[in-house]
Amino acid sequence: MLYSMTGFGRAEARANSKQVVVEIKSLNGKQFEMMTKLPPILRAYELDIRNMLNNILMRGTIDLTVTIKQEGASKPMTVNTELAVFYYNSMRQIAEQLNIQQDNVLSTIMRMPEVVAADQDMLPEEEWEVVKRAVEEAARTLMAHRKHEGDALHTDLQARIRNIEALLAKIIPHEAARVEKIRTRINQSMNEFVTKDKIDPNRFEQEMIYYLERMDFSEEKTRLSQHCKYFYEMVAKEEVAKGKMLGFVIQEIGREINTLGAKANDAAIQQLVISMKDELEKAKEQVLNIL
């Protein structure tokens, strides 16, 4: 079971005369990062919203927008009349002293600080509970979207790892011929530069065995096979967020493939290793999308 980090969730609710619309978008991110667009009356609850979404969404770059629309005859805004009159008198005195026309003075006054303010500085607790449930519903919808995307990632990743295992199996028929080619090449080089009567057969055989042991990649094959099996086990686990752990397993798979290629010393095996690297790169790209 895998979850993608990308997704979208939306929810609507009604709190008395207010219409609440919540939209959440999620993109890839190494940690939990959230950008919010909230109306002023929700600013006091921003930390609560952030903590709630962190618990539900866990990781990714989150973009949250909450819109609250006032309906009916309720007054969402209030005008501080006394302050507006004060501003007007002050502006009129300045205009008369400087002989400046007083056109559009009303629009200027309405833009002055604290003349027009929200009817409520903070959403009532009852209405906040409605908004909270809407945010949670949008987050759950986003997680469902992530699950759907994760199913596609699951299928693709399983195919990539199976392809790597299949390529690993194709190396086996080339191993015996590879060892013989290495032995023949070393013999030819020795015969070219050193006469046979100057070669100690026992020492030569010891050096040959030492060299072939250094070129042996049996351990790399075994570890690579084990890492692939562990990848399947990790994918099958019930926990939701495992993208980082899968990334570490992919790194280990890549390390064994690189070592195998460095020791191959055979054109046919090198071609198989290149194909394995190609499959691994595609798997790496997909793992970056996993929660």
Tell me the C-alpha to C-alpha distance, in Å, between residue 26 and each of 29, 57, 58, 203, 290.
9, 9, 11, 65, 12
Q: Using CA atoms, how far apart are residues 154 and 36, in angstroms rounded to an integer?
A: 31
- Structurally, the chain folds into a number of domains equal to 3
Q: What band does 157 get if pLDDT is binned at 50, 70 and 90?
A: very high
For the chain, what is the mean pLDDT?
82
Asked if the structure places residue 2 within a domain, the reply is no
Asked if the structure places residue 1 within a domain, the reply is no
Average pLDDT over residues 43-61: 91
Q: Using CA atoms, how far apart are residues 20 and 134, in angstroms rounded to an integer?
A: 8
DSSP string, 138-205: HHHHHHHHHHHHHHHHHHHHHHHHHHHHHHHHHHHHHHHHHHHHHHHHHHHHHHHHS-GGG--HHHHH
Residue ranges with strand state E in the chain: 7-15, 18-27, 32-37, 60-70, 77-79, 116-118
| One domain for residues 155 and 113 | no
| One domain for residues 176 and 65 | no
Predicted local confidence at residue 55, as pLDDT: 92
165 neighbors 35 (Cβ within 8 angstroms): no
| One domain for residues 61 and 183 | no
Q: Using CA atoms, how far apart are residues 173 and 192, in angstroms rounded to an integer?
A: 30
Number of CB atoms found within 10 A of residue 112's CB: 16
Chain Cα centroid distance, residue 34: 13
Predicted local confidence at residue 74, as pLDDT: 45
Q: Is 241 left (phi over 0), alpha (psi -120 to 50) or beta?
A: beta
Predicted local confidence at residue 92, as pLDDT: 77
Q: What band does 213 get if pLDDT is binned at 50, 70 and 90?
A: low
Predicted local confidence at residue 77, as pLDDT: 63
Range of the domain at 159: 148-287
Reduced to 3 states (helix: H, G, I; strand: E, B; else coil), residue 104 is: coil
Average pLDDT over residues 243-260: 91
Q: For 69-121, what is each residue's pLDDT tens digit?
A: 876 544 556 677 777 788 778 877 877 777 777 677 777 777 777 666 655 55
What pTM value is reported for the model?
0.70
| One domain for residues 25 and 140 | yes
